[in-house]
Structure 1
Amino acid sequence: MKQTALEKAISAVGGGRALAQALGISPMAISQWKRRGVPVERVPAVVRACNGLVRAHELRPDQPDLFPAPQQTQAAA
């Protein structure tokens, strides 16, 4: 099964407890994010905590206006 962006961030930081500590929140909040998604206001902090290994648009693909995906360039034919 493919890891979610939040699961990648958790792994990158060293676990849910470590991510919670880095963000100054409870581990229970991280557990809730697994069901509800990362709150928009916490996305930048999660990206910083995992040193950019997970990007904002991956955490909240439902918010393209706030967190646009980088444009992929097409190779010249």
Structure 2
Amino acid sequence: MDKLRAYLNSMTPDKQEEFARLCGTTIGYLRKAISTGQQLGESLCINIDRESAGGIRCEELARSVDWAYLRGTGSSVHATEAA
């Protein structure tokens, strides 16, 4: 979340609002989530990844999700455990 905080802080307030809107949320929600260490939902993580042009990766926002499997860049952690 530190990377998301730094990314937002690098923007003007208007750009922060626009970024949040494009991600499908509000800057208030993002700031609250950052300050409380809340895990963001998968769809919001994907939107942030997309709108930041990969600057903030899904993997950094929701570590419990097997993003490598979803991206097709690695084998599923769960499949490996089951083997």
Q: Provide the TM-score with structure 2 as the length reference.
A: 0.57
Which residues in structure 2 correspond to 1:1-77 (within 5 Å)?
Answer: 4-11=2-9, 14=11, 16-34=16-34, 35=36, 36-63=38-65, 65=66, 67-68=67-68
C-alpha offsets along residues 13-71 of structure 1, whole Å, 9 cap, x if unaligned? x25434212224222211222121322221110001101112111111222x2x13966
In structure 2, stretches of 5+ residues that fail to align are 75-83
Higher helix share: 2
Provide the aligned length of Structure 1 versus Structure 2.
Answer: 66
Query: Aligned-pair distance for 1:9?
Result: 4.1
d(CA) in 2 for partners of 1:51 and 1:37? 20
Structure having greater relative contact order (Cα 8 Å, sep ≥ 6): 1
Pairwise CA RMSD: 2.8
Q: Provide the TM-score with structure 1 as the length reference.
A: 0.60
In structure 1, stretches of 5+ residues that fail to align are 72-77
